[in-house]
Homo-oligomer: A and B are copies of this chain.
Amino acid sequence: MIGEILATGDELRSGSLIDSNSAYISQKLEESGLEVTRHSCVGDDLVNLKNIIKEIGGRADIAIITGGLGPTTDDLSAEAAALAAGDKLVIFEDALKTIESFFSRAGREMPASNKKQALLPKSAEVILNPVGTAPGFILKIGKCVFFFLPGVPFEMKKMLCDQVLVRIHKLLGNDRQYCLDKTISTFGLPESTVGEKVALVEKKFPGIKLGLRANFPEIQVKLYAKGASENGLMDLLNPAAKWVKEQLGKHIFSMDGYSLEVVIGQLLREQKASLGIAESCTGGLIANRITNVAGSSDYFMFSGVTYSNNAKIKVLGVLPATIEKFGAVAKETVKEMAKGVKDICNATYGLATTGIAGPSGGSPEKPVGTIWVGLAGPQKIITRQFNFSFGKRLMNKKIFASAALDLLRRELQGVLD
């Protein structure tokens, strides 16, 4: 069977909004064993909409259409579907009731314009929307079963996952496939190197599909196991994941796709340890990432974003002579920053960064992209210097923060180089 996806709306067609729905839907359909051959996008134009629906009806077996189900005059999907199917529009009472109850739950009266959302092709089957006003519907046009869903990503995803996929699985019958995936997160190797190291996984483990995803500055290895039944997929996936783990070793920080800050939170919690941070070149980004994790106040005490030398001296207790002799970006300075913040917080670990994010401030000895990371632990203080050659300030900040967090992760896991 062949699947297609159509996104509708002038904001997508004109490029003022990027269509992220179609990629999401494509993944879900392909995981179910439905081959998606084409995505399309047209604007809020009745003739263009009707024409492309008829085209798809002649090509595909299953199609998902998003958008155009709202209350305004440029929401034309139901009308276009009725035209393409040679059907007429009628009010669906159950859809109308759901819309009314949506407004009454929000304590508001339903505007008259919203009644239009219950006006659907007579031969359609309604898909009720539990989280918004726009009901979806199912309609056969040509040889294709069309699923019309709202364009709001949150509503579309909810309806697709809870109500639509199960129907598509039925339509697929014996073609239905099951998919299990695993995301392995790495830091410290370029994408090409990660790719080379795991390239053989598909050959070594038949039935496994490999995907690489760069989420700068981290690289994720995705493994997909597909089969005609759920049974055995885990047995297919696990040895492949184990092999990938052997290839990438210490560079892996999560076998479950978690972020560095989540992994660090788990480790600190397990080890009943706490953390203080002193940031210069990362400018608060490390603290921001650590505090993105709910419950981080259990182990995170304080970060001193000491941008000025004066703050390094006054808040962290760095010696003026150290900065004078070695500069702000130096091994000696980062050591004192790490030790200083650990002591202030009475924390198990003190993590510190000082470097040059750019675009200016570099020198031949310390070019933009240079960073010193210091980690004061219960026994000792370790330091590392890195030189990253990404020209851009925000990229430098990102990779600086990840380098510092990864040093802490490695220390906590006992896998330092």
Contacts and interface: CB of A to CB of B under 8 A. Distances in A.
Q: Please indicate which of the listed interface residues A17, A38, A211, A346 has the most CB atoms of chain B within 10 Å of its own CB.
A: A38
A305 B292 contact: no
Given A285-B284, A292-B394, A302-B305, A40 B38 contact: yes
A16 B308 CA distance: 43
Interface stretch (A20-28, A118-126, A133-141, A371-379): A20-28
B304 A291 contact: no
A30 interface: yes
A310 B344 CA distance: 9
A253 interface: no
A18 to B, nearest CB: 5
A294 interface: yes
Interface in A244-289: 277, 279, 283-288
Contact of A311 (B19, B295, B302): B302
B23 A20 contact: no
Q: Please indicate which of the listed interface residues A13, A26, A314 has the most CB atoms of chain B within 10 Å of its own CB.
A: A13
A301 B24 CA distance: 43
Nearest to A297: B307
Interface in A305-337: 305-308, 310-311, 314-315
A15 B25 contact: yes
B211 A16 contact: yes
Nearest to A18: B23
A26 B222 CA distance: 31
A344 B12 CA distance: 50
A358 B293 CA distance: 10
Q: Please indicate which of the listed interface residues A24, A25, A285, A307 has the most CB atoms of chain B within 10 Å of its own CB.
A: A307
Given A23-B17, A27-B14, A37-B48, A311 B301 contact: yes
Nearest to A23: B15
A288 B211 CA distance: 32
A223 B237 CA distance: 52
10 contacts: A15-B24, A40-B40, A40-B41, A284-B286, A284-B287, A284-B288, A291-B307, A302-B305, A304-B315, A310-B345
Given A12-B39, A292-B394, 11 more contacts: A14-B27, A16-B211, A19-B22, A19-B23, A38-B41, A38-B48, A283-B287, A284-B286, A292-B393, A292-B397, A294-B358
